[in-house]
Copies of this chain bind each other. A is one copy, B any other.
Amino acid sequence: MTVKAIGAPAADKPFEPLAITRREPGAHDVAIKIAYCGVCHSDLHMARDEWGGALYPCVPGHEIVGHVTAVGAHVTKFKVGDTVGVGCMVDSCQHCPSCEEGLEQYCTGEGSFTGTYNAPTPDAPGYTMGGYSESIVVSENFVLRVNHKPEQLAAAAPLLCAGITTWSPLRHWNAGPGKKVGIVGIGGLGHMGVKLARALGAHTVAFTTSESKREAALALGAHEVIVSKNEDEMAAHAGSFDFILNTVAASHNLDPFVALLKRDGTLTLVGAPEHPHPSPAVFNLIFSRRSIAGSLIGGIAETQEMLDFCAEHGITSDIEMIAASQIDEAYDRMLKGDVRYRFVIDSATLG
């Protein structure tokens, strides 16, 4: 099956239209016509080979929503016409302890989980290609049901990565009523973190480096906004947070945030910086039994839980729709932080 896509032919080349191959759906597969695909910063890292190991042509995209066009003989969960999503994973070993607990993102099987793009696969061309394309074929175990209204579908796409990457740690560290929760960085991930923490019932505080983002963060649902460069404002909240989710991947000093945690509080990082953060002060950890932790996307079961919660609460991402031909420009704007808060490709524009 040959389908239209856009891909980067090399790390330093602009995107171009491609014809790529999708496998025929197997007995357990679901074929999906992609309606929209979100644009994640990871897409840019991979397309430009900033992590190393990128394979070309590179077709990124792991915030996929669309409709089922065919199902394999043994598929039980989906039927033609269903509205579905695909996130960062399209397969995993399915039998290691993490997979058995529904935490496929921590799969300890050989090669860990299969990423939606740039991961080894038996299908041509030997590595996975993502959602910047007309369609995709995925094992039903990695397909999610999307219950949002049709007009919300494009804005639901980023839930598949930005949504679950913030939902999973918020749930794991018990964000909810009676808890004071901080979200550091108000971008693609952070703006979802604010919406989700608020909807989960936590007292939600947004941290931003820029006074100019204060109103926007309040509009997203933050109860309070702290400009993290303002030392007095930070000091007023010392030792008061149960949990802080840090979505900023750029190297920065973690200590001012650790100092805001209560005893037994946790600062969780969801971005890995290219250059290391300054080494966190150990006394900040020791004197209040605080933790610094990390979290990676989320499992399939909790992704479904998050999608259902969001559909029920009318939660979507704030997006700017683009045509496929605008992807290079969108990457450049994303690098400048010039997006509120996620670009989404309208797959109808693939040509």
The chain A residues found within 8 Å of chain B, CB to CB, are: 97-98, 103, 106, 108, 172, 239, 263, 266, 269-273, 276-296
What are 10 pairs between A and B in contact, CB < 8 Å? A266-B291, A272-B286, A276-B279, A276-B281, A280-B280, A286-B294, A287-B296, A289-B294, A289-B295, A292-B292
B contact residues around A277 at 8 Å (CB): 279, 282
Bound CA–CA A281/B269 (angstroms) = 11
Task: Give every chain B residue within 8 A of A106 (Cβ-Cβ).
Answer: 263, 287-289
Q: Nearest residue in B to A169 (C-beta to C-beta)?
A: B289
State the CA gap A186–B231 with chains docked (Å).
41
Residues from chain B with Cβ under 8 Å of A276 in the complex: 279, 281-282
Q: Which of B103, B263, B271, B273 contacts A263 (CB 8 A)?
A: B103
Check if A295 sits within 8 Å of B291, measured CB to CB.
Answer: no
CB distance from A27 to the nearest CB of B (A): 31
Given A239-B108, A278-B279, A279-B279: A286 and B263 interface contact (C-beta under 8 Å): no
The A interface is mostly helix, strand or loop, or mixed, namely loop
Asked if A282 contacts B269 (CB within 8 A), the reply is: yes
Q: Is the CB of B172 within 8 A of A289?
A: yes
- Residues of the B chain whose Cβ atoms lie less than 8 Å from the Cβ of A286: 269-270, 272, 294-296
| B283 pairs with A272, CB closer than 8 A | yes
A292 to B269, CA, bound (A): 12
Contact check: which of B282, B288, B291 meets A273 at CB < 8 Å? B282
- A132 and B287 CA atoms in complex are apart in Å by 26
* Cα A272 to Cα B97 with chains together (Å): 34
A291's contact among B97, B98, B103, B291, by CB below 8 Å, is which? B291
The 10 tightest CB contacts between A and B, nearest first, are: A285-B294, A286-B294, A276-B279, A291-B293, A279-B279, A291-B291, A272-B282, A272-B283, A106-B263, A286-B296
A289 and B103 CA atoms in complex are apart in Å by 11
In the bound complex, what is the Cα–Cα distance between A226 and B5 (angstroms)?
A: 51
Chain B residues within 8 Å of A282, by CB? 269, 271-273, 276-277, 294
**Further contacts, 16 of them, CB under 8 A, given A269-B282, A279-B280:** A97-B263, A103-B263, A276-B282, A277-B282, A279-B279, A280-B280, A285-B292, A285-B293, A286-B295, A286-B296, A287-B296, A288-B294, A289-B293, A290-B293, A292-B292, A292-B293
CA distance A239 to B106 in the complex (A): 11
Provide the residues of chain B in CB contact with A103, threshold 8 Å.
263
Report the Cα distance A290→B266, complex, angstroms. 11
Closest to A96 in B: B263
Tell me the bound Cα distance from A43 to B285 in angstroms: 22
Which of A270, A288, A290 gathers the greatest number of chain B CB atoms within 10 Å? A288
In the assembled complex, the Cα of A239 lies from the Cα of B294 at a distance in Å of 15
Per the bound structure, the CA–CA distance linking A103 and B262 in Å amounts to 13
The CA of A191 and the CA of B273, in the complex, are separated in Å by: 37
CA distance A291 to B103 in the complex (A): 17
Of all chain B residues, the one with the shortest Cβ separation from A269 is B282
Which residues of B have CB within 8 Å of A266? 291
A82 to chain B, nearest CB (A): 31
